[in-house]
Amino acid sequence: MREYLPRENRCLLSSLLGSCNMMFVYGMQDPWTGNRIPDDKLGKNCQILYIENGTHNDAIDTWNASERNQLFQWLKGLGFDL
């Protein structure tokens, strides 16, 4: 099992409080989506992307164009050159 480093825990906590940028991606066909963090508990810098036919083993290249574009637009907004 992977153990998280303290700095990763700080980023997750900061994200929930609104000072860190983070995107949560959930597959609508993935049972783990039921354990997601409630939308109203996320900070303003958090984004949520639901993959319509997504499962636990999905990869970006299996998403439809709209879903990929949402991810890429969010990354571009953070300064990534895609």
pLDDT of residue 47: 82
Q: How far apart are CA 39 and CA 21, in angstroms?
A: 15
Residue 52 placed within a domain: yes
Tell me the pLDDT tens digit for each residue of 23-78: 888 888 887 767 676 666 676 777 888 899 888 888 899 999 999 999 999 889 88
Residue 1 placed within a domain: no
Q: How many domains does the chain have?
A: 1
Domain with 60 in it: 6-77
pLDDT greater than 80 at residue 13: no
Report the candidate in 20, 13, 12, 22 with the shortest Cα–Cα distance to residue 48.
22
Residue 27 placed within a domain: yes
Residue 82 placed within a domain: no
Residue 53 placed within a domain: yes
The pTM for the full model equals 0.64
Report the candidate in 57, 53, 4 with the shortest Cα–Cα distance to residue 29.
53
